[in-house]
A and B are shown apart, each in its own frame.
Chain A
Amino acid sequence: AQSVTQPDIHITVSEGASLELRCNYSYGATPYLFWYVQSPGQGLQLLLKYFSGDTLVQGIKGFEAEFKRSQSSFNLRKPSVHWSDAAEYFCAVAVSTDSWGKFQFGAGTQVVVTP
């Protein structure tokens, strides 16, 4: 079955430390990949996306993600976390441009930033 998995439900990181959030997908073809962030009480905001080309993509707020076809992964990273990065992060996929109605989201990873 097609799926998007975020293995970590909750991550605690110290301010200034690096952060990596994992995302794995299970689809027959390479999907279109997205990372969104949700601050408390807010809607989702796009951080970055991957459609094709360079497998390392840069996003907003200093985030980057790397697509690894061999591992079916699209992990999100940030070298130095700020207190404002505390939020919930969602990985999402769309199977093809012919099915933009078929977005599927992971369960999310809650990030807590400690002083």
Chain B
Amino acid sequence: NAGVTQTPKFRVLKTGQSMTLLCAQDMNHEYMYWYRQDPGMGLRLIHYSVGEGTTAKGEVPDGYNVSRLKKQNFLLGLESAAPSQTSVYFCASLTSLETQYFGPGTRLLVL
């Protein structure tokens, strides 16, 4: 049982490049989340999903897209990366005890 995994762990992008962050969970959770963490701002919700095939916007969705084609995977896409998207990205899934279980994070640097 790997829990929540994130790929890649670290990435450097140039402004305007695109990339996809992958989150995978093997716990059969319905709810999944993408957050970004910036110093002094805690975690801010980007997008979330309440089940396969569904997604919804969170607090800071601009510049990001998501897809949940399979229940176990939640993808976060950056179509045209900007320096303001330099951050640490965390994925989480929701357990049956209404508690979020977090992945180890992806550190993204946009130059």
Which residues of A does B touch, CB under 8 Å?
4, 6, 9, 32, 34, 36, 41-46, 49, 51, 90, 92, 94, 97, 100-108
Contacts and interface: CB of A to CB of B under 8 A. Distances in A.
Interface size class of B (residues with CB under 8 A): 20 to 34
Contact of B58 (A46, A101, A106): A101
A34 B100 CA distance: 10
A-B complex: 9 closest residue pairs judged by Cβ atoms: A43-B102, A105-B42, A105-B43, A101-B48, A107-B42, A44-B102, A43-B104, A108-B42, A46-B99
Nearest to B44: A105
Contacts of B35: 105
A51 B104 contact: no
B31 interface: yes
Contact of B104 (A9, A42, A46, A107): A42
A14 B43 CA distance: 28
Contact of B103 (A32, A43, A94, A102): A43
Contacts of A103: 33, 45, 100
B56 A51 contact: no
Interface in B2-59: 4, 31, 33, 35, 40-45, 48, 50, 56, 58-59
Given A100-B31, A101-B48, A46 B43 contact: no
Contacts of B58: 101
B94 interface: yes
Contact of A49 (B44, B48, B50, B99): B99
A45 B45 CA distance: 17
Given A107-B40, A108-B42, A100 B98 contact: yes
A34 B90 contact: no
Contacts of A46: 99-101
A8 B56 CA distance: 32
Contacts of B56: 101
21 contacts: A4-B42, A32-B98, A34-B99, A34-B100, A42-B105, A43-B104, A44-B90, A44-B102, A46-B99, A49-B99, A90-B42, A100-B50, A101-B48, A101-B50, A103-B33, A103-B45, A105-B35, A105-B42, A105-B44, A106-B42, A108-B42
